[in-house]
Amino acid sequence: MSNKNLGGKIYFNYSIKKLNWLNIGGSTKIYFKPDTLQDLIEFLKLYQNEKKFFILGAGSNVLFKDDTFEGVVIKLSKNFSRISLLNENIIVAGSGVLDKSLSEFAAENDLGGFEFLSCIPGTIGGGIRMNSGCFGSEFKDILISVQAINRFGEVLTIQRKDIIFDYRSCNLSKDLIFLSASFKGNKKKKEEIKEKIKNLKSKKEEAQPTRVKTGGSTFKNPIKQTDKKVWEIIKESIPGNTQFGDAIVSNKHANFFINKGNANYKDMKKLIDFVKESVKKKTGINLDLEIVLVE
């Protein structure tokens, strides 16, 4: 099947290793990079019956397998990365916009509430799916509505009140591709916003590893049975030098797992399973994965 308008945007057996923060993974049977909504609609007409679909944002919370992903990976192009101010306290952002760009845009427009986004290396699309957050704020706190397209090419707008968010998750169908979202902020002085961003960033740098190949927090906080953070429990449950191939646990933050060179999926998965089992053995706690395993 082919469509001349989609030429140059569909790739076959495309390597996904460089498209994610962990730098792990084989290839995908089909890789699609739409420039426009029309591209997406036409693509979905041709490929909607593919069994597996995966929408990739910045790839900062995903772990791909080493072999071929037998389906479609879709990554929105730059055209889905526009930001605009709708009125004095509402921002509309494409799903491909980086969280930190939204945070900077809000600061330039004297809108507070978006500061925490300067510390998350993902996109708006990934942030909504994961209900990402830090320092006491999450996507759910600023979201007004999401525009999305389903597998049948229908575009819909979903209001915040109709979405159930939980810790690093939401109940929106996995079939949806988020296109854009609107967010509400509160009027605040630019200087105060910038100061807050600076503080949050330095707190984050102090606590978590930077400039490394990682997928962020591997397991979800908080845990019902204890007030301890996951990183503390992990630290108490495994030997300090735990390593499988090039997959290691960060010294700085034990819930961040790092590919220190050429780790593959098998190494990382062994590390994940080992940590999960060790924590279960030592504390009886069943950790929940935060990282998305793409299978």
Ligand X SMILES: Cc1cc2nc3c(=O)[nH]c(=O)nc-3n(C[C@H](O)[C@H](O)[C@H](O)COP(=O)(O)OP(=O)(O)OC[C@H]3O[C@@H](n4cnc5c(N)ncnc54)[C@H](O)[C@@H]3O)c2cc1C
Q: Which residues are known to be catalytic?
A: 168, 217, 290
Distance, CA of 84 to CA of 87 (rounded, Å): 9
Label the pairing between strands 62-64 and 292-294. parallel
- Residue 96 CB-half CA count within 13 A: 14
Tell whether residue 125 is a contact of ligand X (CB under 6 A). yes
Q: Residue holding tokens 């995966």?
A: 54
By residue count, the chain amounts to 295
Task: Find the helix packing angle between 190-207 and 99-108, rounded to 10°.
Answer: 150
Backbone dihedral region for residue 132 (phi beyond 0: left; psi -120 to 50: alpha; all else: beta): beta
**Quick check: 63 binds ligand X (CB under 6 A)?**
no
Q: Which of 73, 197, 215, 265 binds ligand X (CB under 6 A)?
A: 215
Binding mask 14-43 for ligand X (x = CB under 6 A): -------x----------------------
Terminal CA-CA length for the chain = 25
Alpha helices in the chain (DSSP H): 37-47, 99-108, 124-130, 190-207, 230-237, 265-283
Smallest distance from ligand X to CB 59, Å = 4
Question: Closest separation between CB of residue 83 and ligand X, Å?
Answer: 15
* Interface segment toward ligand X; rule CB under 6 A; list 83-91, 116-124, 157-165, 226-234: 116-124
Position of tokens 């084989």?
A: 26
Residue of 95, 118, 259, 278 that binds ligand X (CB under 6 A): 95
Per CB under 6 A, the list member of 6, 10, 63, 120 interacting with ligand X is 120
**Under rule CB under 6 A, residue 218 binds ligand X:** no
Query: Pattern of binders to ligand X over 236-275, x per CB under 6 A?
Result: ----------------------------------------
Of 86 and 293, which has the nearer Cβ to ligand X?
Answer: 293
Residue 178, interface with ligand X (CB under 6 A)?
Answer: yes
Within 13 Å, how many C-alpha atoms sit on residue 71's CB side?
Answer: 16
6 near ligand X (CB under 6 A): no
Shortest spacing between CB 15 and ligand X, in angstroms: 16
Q: What is the DSSP letter of 141?
A: G
The C-alpha atoms of residue 23 and residue 215 are separated, in whole angstroms, by: 9
Residue 217: CB minimum distance to ligand X, A = 6
Distance from C-alpha of 229 to C-alpha of 207, rounded to nearest angstrom = 13
Q: Which is nearer to ligand X, 163 or 292 (CB)?
A: 292
SS3 161: helix
The correct pick among 63, 73, 130, 258 for binding ligand X (CB under 6 A) is: 130
Binding site for ligand X (CB under 6 A): 21, 54-62, 76, 95, 119-123, 125-127, 129-130, 132-134, 177-178, 214-216, 292
